A and B are shown apart, each in its own frame.
Chain A
């Protein structure tokens, strides 16, 4: 007969079960419980525990990071939880300093802040543990301007990656790409590939499913009144696969025109587009959700887009910007 009681206290629980309980705890509790026992401190820092914890909490407590445009290029960030309650993002450590946050990206529980002051620098911030870490800059002076940044997650190596795009000259086409791995802590240059084929839309990279996406359009030049003008041609999505370090051009449906307000999203694990359209003869707009499927469609193209939903109309004059970046459970 097996009795599992020890003295008069609760029975001893095996490690896998204790782990199953700990995974369900909010990060604040985990940080406090690090000093319970050394094995626990080591466990909480192990990549597999972190991954399982994030997975569990992002299913129970999904959060959306909202970027609200206030005025003069200043963004205010807050979080929207599963119960549709808005929470203020805990003070990003650099907010009080005179550093200008140009952009902020989220992926897999981490935020990447793009700071532009005297020089371009990047910081990683974990809102759950409140740790901040500056990403190392390359020591050599780089030629060109950092045009844009993408923040992705490589599920194969369980690694966060930052992609830096450089442009030179006036045409703003990408001519250099560098990738930083959080695990390795260093930058390396990779082939530009398809990232140079179209002109990329700056400041709105989005990542999901192990890839980073940018909107871009083919550039056509026309001469009007003796002046060379740039015309936006077909719209594309450039998908940069973080693990393979290779980019692919994905054509968008012909109905989609290049304009402000288009944003990317993930719908049922597939890449999707939120596309605002003005409703004719009215002061209202609506938003269409287009979802992409991989696989050869009727027209022989490798990807097919389907318009899944259209929202009800809303007044066009409200200033708004869609930024559906999921941040995962952090409370």
Chain B
């Protein structure tokens, strides 16, 4: 396992380099495996992630690594009872970005195997779309309507109550 020396370098698809601590890197299962396989000395190429997304992912990993470290210190006293809630609030704010970036964060979290980020970001998308109309959904996910107008009308009338406001 990697020693206590401190940082590694990852490279985005745009060729930019980002430094992250070992603890932050451990947030990603993929990076952890790559480091186990290839060691810490080399730069880790992450060509599936562009720089804009990488910057966000770095921020997330650092925040969560710091949170974990604080928990371990003083047996959790540093975090306090509201600690987990505060982290959740931070996550919610962190994910308030426009769709393009949010989707890229999801793809990066999936690729880098950062489960908590994948969960939070998928939940953020679900929360964002749940009140939308089918047309808006098609726009967001870039989907072409393959129902005929009659078929669509039938589905709508069968579930009329679902189209009404609560």
Taking Cβ atoms with an 8 Å cutoff, the residues of A that contact B are 1-6, 9-13, 17-18, 20-22, 24-26, 28-29, 31-38, 41, 129-130
Q: Are the CB atoms of A21 and B145 closer together than 8 Å?
A: no
Q: Are the CB atoms of A2 and B134 closer together than 8 Å?
A: no
Q: Within 8 Å of chain A (Cβ to Cβ): is B94?
A: no
Q: Are the CB atoms of B103 and A13 closer together than 8 Å?
A: yes
Q: Are the CB atoms of B159 and A37 closer together than 8 Å?
A: no
Instruction: Tell me the residues in window 91-135 of chain B with beta carbons closer than 8 Å to chain A beta carbons.
Output: 99-100, 102-104, 106-107, 110, 118, 122-123, 125-127, 129-131, 133-134
Instruction: Tell me the residues in window 131-166 of chain B with beta carbons closer than 8 Å to chain A beta carbons.
Output: 131, 133-134, 137-147, 151-152, 155-156, 159, 161-163, 166
**Residue ID in chain A nearest B133 by CB atoms:** A32
Q: Are the CB atoms of B126 and A35 closer together than 8 Å?
A: no
Q: Are the CB atoms of A31 and B129 closer together than 8 Å?
A: no
Q: Are the CB atoms of B130 and A26 closer together than 8 Å?
A: yes
Chain B residues, CB < 8 A from A12: 142
Partner of B159, one of A1, A4, A20, A34: A34
Could you list some 21 contacts between A and B, CB below 8 A?
Answer: A1-B47, A2-B48, A3-B50, A4-B104, A10-B99, A10-B103, A10-B142, A11-B103, A12-B142, A17-B106, A17-B107, A21-B126, A21-B129, A24-B127, A29-B129, A31-B159, A32-B134, A35-B147, A36-B141, A36-B143, A37-B146
Chain A residues, CB < 8 A from B147: 35, 37-38
Known: A1-B14, A2-B47, A28-B162. A33 touches B100 (CB 8 A): no
Apart from the given pairs A29-B162, A37-B144, A37-B146, 20 other A-B contacts in the complex at a CB distance below 8 Å: A1-B14, A3-B50, A11-B103, A13-B107, A18-B141, A20-B118, A21-B122, A21-B125, A21-B126, A24-B123, A24-B127, A28-B161, A31-B162, A32-B162, A32-B163, A35-B134, A35-B151, A36-B134, A38-B146, A38-B147
Complex Cα gap A31–B156 (Å): 9
The residue in A3, A5, A12, A35 that gathers the most chain B C-beta atoms within 10 A of its C-beta is: A35
Complex Cα gap A9–B166 (Å): 30
Known: A1-B13, A29-B130, A35-B134. A13 touches B141 (CB 8 A): yes
**Residue ID in chain A nearest B102 by CB atoms:** A10
Q: Are the CB atoms of B145 and A36 closer together than 8 Å?
A: yes
Partner of A20, one of B99, B102, B122, B127: B122
Known: A35-B134, A35-B156, A41-B155. A10 touches B122 (CB 8 A): no
Q: Are the CB atoms of A33 and B137 closer together than 8 Å?
A: yes
Q: Are the CB atoms of B13 and A2 closer together than 8 Å?
A: yes
Chain A residues, CB < 8 A from B48: 2
A126 CB to nearest chain B CB (Å)? 12
Complex Cα gap A68–B17 (Å): 64
Chain B residues, CB < 8 A from A31: 159, 162
Q: Are the CB atoms of B107 and A36 closer together than 8 Å?
A: no
Complex Cα gap A20–B137 (Å): 15
**Residue ID in chain B nearest A1 by CB atoms:** B13
Known: A2-B47, A11-B103, A32-B134. A37 touches B143 (CB 8 A): yes
Q: Are the CB atoms of B161 and A17 closer together than 8 Å?
A: no
Complex Cα gap A9–B131 (Å): 20
Q: Are the CB atoms of B106 and A13 closer together than 8 Å?
A: yes
1/0 contact string of B48-70 vs chain A (CB within 8 Å): 10100000000000000000000
**Residue ID in chain B nearest A90 by CB atoms:** B161
Q: Are the CB atoms of B122 and A24 closer together than 8 Å?
A: yes
A24 CB to nearest chain B CB (Å)? 4
A74 CB to nearest chain B CB (Å)? 26
Chain B residues, CB < 8 A from A38: 146-147
Chain B residues, CB < 8 A from A5: 100
**Residue ID in chain A nearest B126 by CB atoms:** A24
Complex Cα gap A3–B12 (Å): 11
Complex Cα gap A29–B140 (Å): 15
Q: Are the CB atoms of A9 and B142 closer together than 8 Å?
A: yes
Known: A9-B142, A17-B106, A25-B126. A32 touches B47 (CB 8 A): no
Q: Are the CB atoms of B159 and A32 closer together than 8 Å?
A: yes
Complex Cα gap A18–B126 (Å): 10
